[in-house]
Structure 1
Amino acid sequence: MFDGIQRRVVSLWFPRLATDRVLRQHPNDAPFVLTLQQKNANRIYCLNAEATRRGLERGMPYSDARAFCPNLQSRPAEPQKDRHFLRILRRWATRYCPWVGLEGDNGLVLDVTGSTHLFGGEDALIADLHHRLERSGISVQIGLADTRGAAWALAHYGQGIIAPSGDTLNTIAELPVAALRLDDETSVGLQRLGLRRISDLASAARAPLTRRFGPNLLLRLDQALGTHPEDITPLAEPPHYGVRLTLPEPIGLTSDVMAGTDRLLRQLCDKLKAQEMGARILCLTLDRVDHGNQKVELRLARPLRDPNRILPLFESGVGAVDAGFGIERLRLEATQVEPLQVEQIGHVSAAQKGALDDLITRLGTRIGLENIHRLLPADSHIPERSFITAPAAYSDPESGWKVTQPRPICLFPPEPIAGTGSNPPDRFRWRRMSLTTGRATGPERISPEWWLEDENWRSGVRDYWRIETRQGRRLWMFYTPQQPGWFVQGEFA
């Protein structure tokens, strides 16, 4: 209680949150469940009302559920999306009060103290919650009481009863002890002692219960009755990386738009620096006086928060904007950000690396960042598998497997040449050229990777040689001892 106002708490329980999320996008009146791999079996994770009426339950093996209900429809569960959906509901619930927190994986808790009169009273607020959620296809059970624990108990076991202010114990007295948010083992232990209802527990001696079940049991009881305070901690709103600028007079020149963008960039980069983040995708929206808008999207090859480097990259996009009768408002938002901690680096290497990243960004605005690739070393001693192709904007050229032996710049499928014996031939023909061996370095024996199937390596080990010919060619050749033969596979620069 504060300032003479009795605290009032609302608990929202979404018993079918996961299936409601899926069925909102794909409506289905048939029995429907979401399955998840649990305890070495594919089990029911969540189910709709029709599946419940058919006798199915959470945790039931999916094979048994199909035996009970042959026309059962299912999809794999996605708990991560369910948690994201619950956070969306939490943000929506702030229309009723500013203090909204999460209650487990499928519930919300609202501190509506002092705000119920804005909706016509407590009954009207609960009715509005029911109406809006059910209209959106979301099943909900609601409880309202003086404490968080009592509201949770009424939502889960009280069929949405509203506890009168100051009468918590009488309202929840007949509810089972499990309504106090106890674990199953404690609930079963209390029932064996004959303490089945909250009223039985409230009238029992406290010392023996504490010795047998620990302090958590009576803590939950005191929280529900209000003798022990329990806070509601709302989630902090995620930082919004967006800024805007409203102009006193419309503008249309590219130089004026760039000046406004520069001003917005410095404000945005200050926000990014405070959170140690860097922007990967920036969206500049230009609102015109005719209520139209133009958007310029900039996809960066590396996360950045340096306005001096980002601003020139906007020039080509801003130059193509149709200002119409003038631009009256500019909005700049970082739609995708990544962690970018402060680093101590040398100014020479930083400038060189930054120039390459900016070049990739400029080319990416024309042909797409996903179309610019680089070769990276791979963790394999097989020549054909010793490199991978990766998007340049999403890969680091300094990381990867380091080979100890030199490899040719040009690598191609093995080409047979005439030769006998395990030593490199003195003279041979390759690609219609007669070549003479000047110097041979090797051999370097490479064995197949036995755990992978590769038709090209079924002949066994290969002995690789670096051959320098008198004609200037520097070749990479190998010999196969199991099936004697010589091949050329690469050429050094």
Structure 2
Amino acid sequence: MFDGITRRVVSIWFPRLASDRFLRQHPLSGPFALTINHSNANRLYCLNIEAMRQGLHQDMAHSDARAFCPDLQTKTADIYQDHQFLLTLRHWATRYCPWVGLEGRDGLILDISGSSHLFGGEESMLADMRAGLMRAGLSVQFGVADTRGAAWALAHYGEGLASPGNMLSHLQNLPATALRLDGKTTTALARLGLRTIGDLAATPRAPLTRRFGPRILLRLDQALGRQREEITPLADPPHYRVRITLPDPIGLIHDVMAGTERLLTQLCAKLKAHERGARVFVLTLRRVDQDQQEVELRLARPLSDPLRILPLFEKGLAEIDAGFGIDQLHLESTQTEALPTQQITHVETKTDDQLDDLITRIGTRIGLENIQRFQPADSHIPERSFIVAPAAYTTAASGWVSKNPRPLCLFPPEPIAGIGSHPPERFRWRRISLTIGRATGPERITPEWWLEDDNWLSGLRDYWQVETTQGRRLWLFYTPQKPGWFVQGEFA
């Protein structure tokens, strides 16, 4: 009892959370299971009801499961997405009470003390929860009791609603593992004939403590209400938004920039406090006629410095129509990234702040995705030794390591006339007659046999760097398996 209200706890268990989440997005029929690599073996992680009816179970080896059930369909589990989905369910559960916490990786715990009457009682509340979760395609089991431990036990081993009062009468026939004990402990208890919670409650406490330590009795007391167990709700993630309402409407760009600066100072202070940097800002301006206009600012790098961010708003704000005036400004960061505080030293470090700001300014006109840079790739094939990626979402490569020099200009192979494995003394390329003054090579490059590439059907290549007497420095290669000479690049 606290504040005159009997404490009531709801435990929600999702026995097939991971597979239900996957099947909601990718409906399948028949036996299905998610797998996970554990102890150098691929094992079943979460199964649907059809797979369980085939006799399969969690932690079963994938190869054994396929032998028992040849029709089994499997996918690799995504633990992170499962956790994010559980957080979404936690947010949904806050409609019933504010005190909602996570219970392991597949459950929720709710303290509904004083809130069940808002839904017509506990049975009506549970019915509403079940209906909503079943519509979402989720398997669910509930347990309601005076304590967290009792609610968990009922949800996992005897789904039901325990009336307030003596918890032992509702739990005594449940197995000892319902007290959230590990398998090794429950096995040792079973050898002593202590298989149920009632058996443990009837056993003298001193011998149990001497043999197993205090944990068993602690779990028993928590389930029966003799030891209080708190429910810690998860805090909602911080929202990075600020707003200002003006006493008089404004319309001049100078005034709007001044209001934006004030909002930026507040918002960036909150970002710094959480060691976050903003990637996207949305500034909403409400006019006196209730119409709204938005200015979106996408940054090339996460920032929390208002002095650097404010000038980047100028172009967007210059294009707004203030109408009869703006009376409210709302600034929100819709996308943030980690931006840890950096140690300041006496050593001057080189930064790319000016380049990042330039990318942001150009990106507001043509889009950040259209500003690209070359990045090194892990391949010895010239055509695959680099990739093109958006500059705003990558960092400049520091030092392109190459054992042999590569041409600045690379193009598809262009055939030239030549005989033998040594570069021809004279050849014609792009209607230009060229004479080789010096040749360096060969550098043999073999194709990546595990990838299909029509350009490498001729097999391995012997590359040569040649300097012509006309001043052209070219990259030639010879194909021994299908004799022929080609030009593929030109050095600066």
Fold match by TM threshold 0.5: yes
1:205-220 paired onto structure 2 within 5 Å: 205-210=204-209, 215-220=214-219
Following superposition, the deviation at residue 275 of structure 1 comes to: 1.9
Report Cα offsets for 1:405-463 as digits up to 9, x if no partner.
Answer: 3221111223333445555444332222222334x252241331454454544555544
How far 1:92 moved relative to its partner?
A: 3.5
Residues 1:130 and 2:127 are matched in the alignment: yes
Task: Give the CA deviation at 1:216.
Answer: 3.5
| Residue 390 in structure 1 maps to residue 389 in structure 2 | yes
Shift of 1:272: 1.6
| Correspondence for 2:229 | 230
Q: Which position in structure 1 is the counterpart of 2:443? A: 445
Kindly state the Cα deviation for residue 128 of structure 1 after the two structures are TM-superposed: 2.5
Q: 1:91 to 1:485 in 2, by over 3 A?
A: closer
- Residue 120 of structure 1: SS of its match in structure 2? helix
1:281-360 equivalence runs, <5 A = 281-343=280-342, 349-350=350-351, 353-360=352-359
Give me the whole-angstrom Cα distance separating, in 2, the residues matched to 1:484 and 1:76: 47
With 298-307 and 6-15 compared, the bigger mean Cα shift is at 6-15
Asked if residue 195 in structure 1 is aligned to residue 211 in structure 2, the reply is no
The whole-number CA distance in structure 2 between the counterparts of 1:20 and 1:457 is 45
Deviation at 1:286, TM superposition (A): 2.0
CA RMSD of aligned residues (A): 3.8
| SS of residue paired to 1:388 | strand
Deviation of 1:102 after TM superposition, in Å, equals 0.7
Alignment of 1:482-493 (within 5 A): 485-493=484-492
Q: Is the 8 A contact 1:19 1:33 kept in 2?
A: no
Of 30, 33, 36, 1:35 maps to 33
Amino acid at match of 1:99: W
Residues 130 and 140 in structure 1, CA contact (< 8 A), matched pair in contact too: no
Aligned match of 1:143: 143
Question: Kindly tell me: are residues 486 and 64 of structure 1, through their superposed partners in 2, closer, same or farther at Cα, counting changes over 3 Å?
Answer: closer
The amino acid across from 1:447 in the alignment is I
Q: Distance in 2 between matches of 1:252 and 1:321?
A: 10
* Structure 1 residues 187 and 274, CA gap change in structure 2 (3 angstroms): same
Letter of the aligned partner of 1:164 in structure 2? Answer: P
Q: Quick check: 1:417 aligned with 2:416?
A: yes
> What is the TM-score of this pair, normalised by structure 2?
0.82
For 2:276 and 2:235, the matched residues in 1 are separated by: 18
Asked if 2 retains the 8 angstrom alpha-carbon contact of 1:35 and 1:62, the reply is no
Q: Distance in 1 between matches of 2:326 and 2:226?
A: 60
**Alpha-carbon distance in 1 for matches of 2:309, 2:146:** 53
Alignment CA distance shift 1:148-1:415 (3 Å): same
Is the CA contact (8 Å cut-off) linking 1:133 and 1:139 kept in structure 2? no
Could you tell me which residue of structure 2 aligns to residue 120 of structure 1? 117
- Tell me if the contact between 1:35 and 1:42 (Cα under 8 Å) persists in the aligned partners: no
The worse-fitting range, judged by mean Cα deviation, of 205-214 and 336-345 is 205-214
Superposition map of 1:365-384 within 5 A: 365-384=364-383
Paired with 2:126 and 2:405, the residues of 1 have a C-alpha distance of 69
DSSP-derived class of the 1:437 partner: strand
| Alignment deviations for residues 174-196 of structure 1 (CA, whole Å, 9 cap, x no partner) | 33323212334544554454433
Q: Which runs of 5+ in 1 are unaligned?
A: none
Deviation at 1:44, TM superposition (A): 8.1
SS in 1 for 2:415: strand
Which residue of the partner structure matches residue 171 of structure 2?
Answer: 172
Deviation at 1:36, TM superposition (A): 0.7
User: Given that residues 251 and 328 in structure 1 are in contact (C-alpha distance below 8 angstroms), is that contact kept between their aligned partners in structure 2?
Assistant: yes
In 2, the alpha carbon distance for the partners of 1:457 and 1:384 equals 11
User: What corresponds to 1:155 in structure 2?
Assistant: 155
**Corresponding residue for residue 94 of structure 2:** 94
Cα drift, residue 134 of structure 1: 1.6
Sort the Cα spacing of 1:490 and 1:57 in 2 relative to 1 into closer, same or farther, 3 A. closer
8 Å CA contact 1:9–1:147 kept in 2: the answer is yes
CA contact (8 A) 2:30 2:51 kept: no
Question: Which residue of structure 2 aligns with residue 104 of structure 1?
Answer: 104
Q: Give distance in 2, aligned partners of 1:122 and 1:328.
A: 41
Cα pair distance change 1:256/1:65, threshold 3 Å? farther
* Corresponding position of 1:263: 262
2:46 corresponds to which residue? 45
Identify if the C-alpha distance between structure 1 residues 486 and 459 changes in structure 2 by more than 3 Å, giving closer, same or farther. same
CA displacement 1:181-216 (0-9 Å, x = unmatched): 233454455445443331211112345545665554
Contact 1:47 1:58 in 2 (8 A): no
Distance 1:197 1:419, change over 3 A: closer
Inter-CA distance 106–290: structure 2 relative to 1 (3 Å threshold): farther
Residues 135 and 443 from structure 1, CA distance in 2 versus in 1: closer, same or farther, beyond 3 angstroms?
Answer: closer
CA distances 1:110-133 after superposition (whole Å, capped 9, x unpaired): 334xx51x5538972453243244
Distance 1:427 1:55 in 2: 74
Q: 1:156 to 1:479 in 2, by over 3 A?
A: closer
Question: Any idea what SS the aligned residue of 1:416 has?
Answer: strand
> 1:242 offset after TM fit, Å?
1.5
Describe the SS at the equivalent of 1:336. Answer: strand
Pair 1:357–1:134, CA change in 2 (3 A)? same
Q: Report the 3-state secondary structure (helix = DSSP H, G, I; strand = E; otherwise coil) of the residue aligned with 1:290.
A: coil
With over 3 angstroms needed to count, the CA separation of the structure-2 counterparts of 1:424 and 1:359, relative to structure 1, is: same
Partner of 2:121, secondary structure, is helix
> How far off its partner does 1:287 sit?
2.5
Q: Which residue of 2 aligns with 1:478?
A: 477
Q: CA separation in 1, counterparts of 2:24 and 2:425? A: 75
Name the TM-score, length of structure 1 as normaliser. 0.82
Please give the alpha-carbon distance, in whole angstroms, between the structure 2 residues aligned to 1:321 and 1:187.
69
Change (3 A) 1:92 1:383: closer
Equivalent pair of 2:299/2:360 in contact (CA under 8 Å): yes
- Cα distance in 2 between the residues matched to 1:400 and 1:228: 62
Aligned-pair CA distance for 1:103: 0.8
Counterpart residue type for residue 46 of structure 2: Y
- Kindly tell me: are residues 194 and 369 of structure 1, through their superposed partners in 2, closer, same or farther at Cα, counting changes over 3 Å? same
Question: What number of residue pairs does the alignment pair up?
Answer: 478
Distance 1:491 1:378, change over 3 A: same
